[in-house]
Structure 1
Amino acid sequence: MINFLLARIGSAIITIFGASILAFVILRAVPTNPARLIAGPFANDEVIAQVTSQLGLDKPLFVQYFDYIVSFFAGDWGFSYSAGQPVLSQIVQRLPASAELALYAFLFAFIGAVFVTVLVSFLASKWLDRLLRLLSFISVGVPPFWLALLFLMVFFEQLGWFPGPVGRGPAPGSVHTGLFTIDYLIAGNFSGFATALHHLALPALALALGPFGYLVRLLRANLLDIVNEPFVTVLHAKGVAPVSTHFQHILPNAFLPTLTAGGLILAQLLGGSVLVERIFVWPGIGTLVIDGILRQDYAVVQAFIMLSAIIYIGVNLLVDILYGYVDPRVRRS
C-alpha cells in the first residue's frame, strides 16, 4: 500500500509542475506587455522599463519561472493591479462562495443520479429506463450557462419562485466557515439556512444537470454489466432475495467507477463554474477570473489556473487513495 501511495503522490507532484509550466508559458506568450498595462497608456519608455524591472520581466525565462514557483508555494500569488491588493487575498475572500456552490451542485448531481438510477434499475421498467436515458442525454448535451439563463427566465421572471441574479443573499452575523448554509446552521438560524439554500438552488441545479446526466449513464452501464456477471447468476440460483442481490452485491461492484468519476466532477465544479457565477452575480472565483481576463490582469488568471490544477489533482489523488482502500485489486496491481 505504501508503494501505491508513493506512486500516486509522485504522479500528482509531477502533474502540478506540468500545469505550472503550462500556465507560465501561455501567459508569457500573450503579445500584450504587462508592464505597459500596469504603467498606463501614457507612460513613457523609462517608466515602462522600470516597471518591467520591478516585475522581473527582464530576467531570463527560466529564472522568471523559478521565481514564480518559489513565490507561489511561499504564499505570494502575485499582485492584482486592477484591484490594488494581493491575488491570494482576493481568492481567499471569494473561495468559500465558489466552494459552497460547487459542493451543493455536486450533492444534487451525485445523490440524484445514484438514487434515480438505482431505483429505475431495481424496478426494471423499460419505459422508465428509456425516460432516464433521454433525460441523461439531454442534460449532458446542454451547456450550464444556457441552463442558467433558462432557469432565470422561467423560475425567476415568469414564476417568481426563486431569487434572481442577486448573489448569495444576506450574510450570517457570525462567519465560521464562509459557507452561508453551514454558518447559519452553526448559529441555529434555520430561516437563514433556508434563505441561503433558496439562493443556491438555481445556480447549483444549472451546474448539476450536466454531471447528473454523466453519472446516470456511467452507473447505468456499470449496473447492466454487473447484472450479467456469473456470480449474480449463482446468487439467483441459490435463492438469494432480489433486494439483497441488488443492493448488497450488484450495486457495490457497480459503484466504484462512479465514485472515481464523482471525485473528478467535484474538482471540475470547484474550478469550472465561471460563466454560471457570472450570470447569477455569484461573488466567487469565477467572477474574479472573468474580471481579470477583461482587465488583462494576468496575475489573477495565472493564479486561477494553478489553483484549479491543484484542486483537480488533489481531489483525484484522494479518490485514487480511497479507491485503493475500497478495492483490493487496485492495491495488488
Structure 2
Amino acid sequence: MYWLPLLVNRLIWLVPTIFGLTTLIFVLSRVVPIDPAVLIAGENASLEQIQEVRSRFGLDEPLPSQFVRYLASIVRGDLGTSLYTQTPILDELKARLPATIELTAVSLAIAGAIGIPTGVICGVHYNSWLDHVLRVVVVASVGVTHFWLAIQLQIIFSMKLGWLPLAGRFEGTMPYPFTGLLVVDSFMAGDWRSLGSALQHLGLPALTIGLPTAAIVQRFTRNSVISMMNSPSIAYQQAMGFSRRIIVWKYLLRSSLAATVALFGLTAGIMLAGVVAVETVFDWPGMGNYAVRSIMYSDYNAVMGFTIFAGTVFAVLSVVVDLVQVMIDPRGAT
C-alpha cells in the first residue's frame, strides 16, 4: 500500500485546484462584453423581457452571490443549462465524452508506439546518424500545428487517395452502446463491419494528434535513456557481464518508462487543445467540437461547463498518471 499516501495527498490537492479553476472561469465569464440576459432572451426581446430573464437566473444579484450560487450548483454536479440548446450541459458533455476518450486513447497509443521505441533507439545510439535523422524529424513534427496537419491528411488520404473517410465517427448501424466506445462496443458485439468502420474513421484524427505527441515522447525518452546510460546502475550491470540487449530492454527501458509516463500526464493538456481543433476539422462528435460550437454561439454557460469539466478530467488524469508512475518505479512514492 505504498501508493496510498500519494493518492490521499493528490486527492486533497484536487479540491483547491478545481476551486481555483471555477473561480477563474466565473470571473472571466463576467468580464466579457456580452450580456447573458440578452443572449437568453434573444435579440428582439424588450427591456422588460431582458429584466425578467435577469431576475429568473439571478443575474441581477451581486457577483459574490452569483458565485456562491454557481459554486453550490457545481458541488451538486449541475453545470447549468446551455443557452443555445436549453439542455443540461453535463448531459451533453457525458454524451460526448466517450468519443473524446476513444480518440485520445488511440492517439496516446500511437504516440507511445512510435515515440518510446524510437526514443530508446536514439538514446542507445546516441550521436549516430540514425539519432541525428530522427532528431530532425522530431523538430519538424513538434513545429506542425494540429489544424494544418489535419487538413493535409484529409487532402492526401481522403480526397486524393480515398483510403480513409474525410470526417465523422461512424457509418452504418451503431452497435449496442455497452461503453459508448465504438471500437470496444463493436468488438464486444462481434460486429466486424462496424469495427472496421470505427477504426477507419479513427485513423486520420488519431494520427493528427498522435504524430506530434509521438515526437515529444521520443525526445523525452531519448534524453531519459541517455541519462540512464551514464548512471552507476547501468555501469554495474555491464560489469556483471549482462548483454546489451538485456540491459536495454530489462533495466534501461523500465527505468526510462517512469519518466515517460509522467510526460503523458504533462502533455495531456496539450493533447486536449489538439483534440478541440481536430474534432472541429473532422466533425468528430466529442467534447472539443461541443466547445467550439458553444464559443461560436456565445453560449458562455456551455463554455464554462466544458472548461470546468475538462479541467476536472485533467486533474483526475494527473492523479492516475502519478499512481501509474509509482507502480512502475516505487521509489517515486513520496
SS at match of 2:204: helix
Deviation at 1:111, TM superposition (A): 2.0
- State the one-letter code of the partner of 2:81: F
Runs (4+) of structure 1 moved beyond 6 Å?
Answer: none
- Any gaps of 5 or more consecutive residues in structure 2? none
State the distance in 2 between where 1:179 and 1:171 align. 14
Query: Match of 1:55?
Result: 57
Q: C-alpha displacement at 1:133, in angstroms?
A: 0.9
| Structure-2 residue corresponding to 1:74 | 76
Query: Compared with structure 1, are the counterparts of its residues 101 and 6 closer, same or farther at alpha carbon in structure 2 (3 Å cutoff)?
Result: same
* Residue deviations 1:244-284 (CA, integer Å, cap 9, x gap): 11112211112211011113334653564111111111111
In percent, how many aligned pairs have the same letter? 33
Distance 1:171 1:313, change over 3 A: farther
The secondary structure found in structure 2 opposite 1:85 is coil
Cα deviations across residues 86-137 of structure 1 (Å, max 9, x unaligned)? 1122112211111111111111111221122234545668222112111111
1:155-199 CA-partner distances (Å, limit 9, x unpaired): 111111111123433352311111111110000112221221011
CA distance in 2 between partners of 1:5 and 1:161 (Å): 45
Residue deviations 1:286-319 (CA, integer Å, cap 9, x gap): 1211111111111110011101110111111122
The equivalent position to 2:86 in structure 1, one of 81, 84, 106, is 84
Number of the residue aligned with 2:27: 25
Determine which of 163, 172, 189 is the counterpart of 1:187. 189
Give the Cα–Cα distance (whole angstroms) in 2 for the partners of residues 307 and 171 of structure 1.
Answer: 30
Which structure 1 segments of 5+ residues have no match?
none
- The AA in structure 2 aligned to 1:31 is P
CA apart distance, 1:78:
1.1
Per the alignment, residue 222 of structure 1 pairs with 224
State the one-letter code of the partner of 2:196: A
Q: Which moved more, 1:250-259 or 1:198-207?
A: 250-259
C-alpha distance after superposition, 1:51-81 (max 9, x if no partner): 0111111122122112112212323211112
Which residue is equivalent to 2:306? 304
Number of positions where the alignment pairs a residue of Structure 1 with one of Structure 2: 332
CA contact (8 A) 1:176 1:183 kept: yes
CA distance in 2 between counterparts of 1:158 and 1:272 reads 24
Contact kept, 8 Å, 1:226 with 1:254, in 2: the verdict is: yes
Matches within 5 A, 1:120-199: 120-122=122-124, 126-199=128-201
Q: Give the Cα–Cα distance (whole angstroms) in 2 for the partners of residues 206 and 45 of structure 1.
A: 48
Q: Distance in 2 between matches of 1:242 and 1:64?
A: 64
